[in-house]
Amino acid sequence: MNDSGHNSLNTQARTVLLGVARDSIHKGLTEGCPLSVDPDDYPAELRQQRASFVTINLDGQLRGCIGHLKAVQALVQDIAENAFAAAFRDPRFPPLNAEEFPPLDVHISVLSPAEPMTFSSESDLIAQLRPGVDGLILEDGAAHGTFLPSVWDSLPDPRDFLAHLKNKAGLSSRHWSPDVKVLRYRTESFSQL
């Protein structure tokens, strides 16, 4: 079992989910809609309600990333919808085109439930962060943002990680208030071999 209380996904389940993600992107290219999946057609572990993100990269560069922070549906459905959205609805990028599909690298992150962190100050929060392990959700009033644990690869220093997360949430990197809330989660991440 992993920290989320769920069993880790086996190789076959991971392969199925990566196939669903690619099929959903392909269907988006050919028919303009995500792959429709019936959870009853899949093993029990893929029918569980789990939150996920699908990240697509092209030539080592981010090409789209969309997901849910909370479990809202069966994992296999979440993957199909998020893969389509990452390819065609990420507002940072134009919709994917057919030439980009074959070399696309699809990366899936399945999230544990987010848990609130308790801290007395910004330095206390920074001291509790686990680089390479923690995904964070930062909230302050209407401002909010998240970084998956994979972001530690490019921002390995906890102070920098938090500063960039504040920017993503629409706040100054120096912002701090007693109303700041931070939740921590972990991911089980995988991509095609």
pLDDT digits (tens, 9 = 90+) for 129-182: 999 999 999 999 999 999 999 899 999 999 999 999 999 999 999 999 999 999
What are 74's two structure tokens? 């069966």
Give the pLDDT band (50/70/90) at residue 193. low
What pLDDT, on a 0 to 100 scale, did the predictor assign at position 8?
86
Q: pTM score, two decimals?
A: 0.85
How far is the C-alpha of 133 from the C-alpha of 122, rounded, in Å?
19
Give the pLDDT band (50/70/90) at residue 40. very high
- Write down the CATH number for the domain with range 115-186: 3.30.1490.150
pLDDT digits (tens, 9 = 90+) for 57-115: 999 999 999 999 989 999 999 999 999 999 999 999 999 999 999 999 999 999 999 99
What pLDDT, on a 0 to 100 scale, did the predictor assign at position 144?
93
What pLDDT, on a 0 to 100 scale, did the predictor assign at position 7?
63
Q: For residue 190, which phi and psi values (nearest 5 degrees)?
A: -160, 160
Q: Is the pLDDT of residue 3 over 50?
A: no
| In the chain, domain spans | 11-112, 115-186
Fold of 11-112: Glycoprotein, Type 4 Pilin (3.30.700)
Task: Give 108's Cβ-side CA count (13 Å radius).
Answer: 28
How far is the C-alpha of 136 from the C-alpha of 116, rounded, in Å?
10
Q: Are 81 and 28 in contact (CB under 8 A)?
A: no
